[in-house]
Amino acid sequence: MNEQARLQEKLTNTQSELREAILAPLSYARAVFTTVIQVGLEDLFLAVDPFDVVIVDEVSMLPIGHLLFLASIPTEKIVLAGDFKQLSPIAVSNHVHVHKWIKQDIFAWLYIHHNQGEHERMTMLSLQYRMHPAICRIISETFYFGKLEAHVSTHDNRLASHPPEREYTVYLQICPLHLIGLYVKRPRPGRAITFEMEMLL
């Protein structure tokens, strides 16, 4: 046996051992966390008892073809979670089939983008816990049809509670449906950080 054949046999044996090592816990696990790509690459997920539920997060980045495959796996239901205003799947080609099957997400297919986030099988989470209400209002009115609200716990959020290590002046210009630009400028030594937001109407 030559060296190449010996290495190929060793690789095959190692892959077989790895498969068995993964298959054992996969067969009795009550919940499995993985990536969409891994499910498509490995037939291990189809070699065990069927899954009753599949939950998919960040679904706005998932091409329709991947989603249809995932929907064929569960015996009961599939739950899709994601932001219908985030980026859709990215592809370089402008071919009509690429646009239909790769560049579009499930929200576009269901016309949720055009129906102000309304669909009989969708629930929009309208309460956020991160942004100050003043910032949330800009985001809500620009992207979420005025439906996004800030939780009361965000009302006291202040940048002053997290002083920057360096001083910068930040100019943020926002126009409806378009982020115009973010500009950062070093101020003179000793100046405090300043945020200036301008709504371009």
Mean pLDDT of 100-118: 79
Name the pLDDT band for 112 (thresholds 50, 70, 90): confident
Relative to beta strand 178-185, strand 169-175 is antiparallel
This prediction has a pTM of 0.64
pLDDT(82) > 70 = yes
Residue 157 backbone class (left: φ over 0; alpha: ψ -120 to 50; beta: rest): beta
The tens digit of pLDDT for each residue in 35-58 reads 888 888 878 887 788 889 999 999
Sign of CA dihedral 58, 63, 64, 65: negative
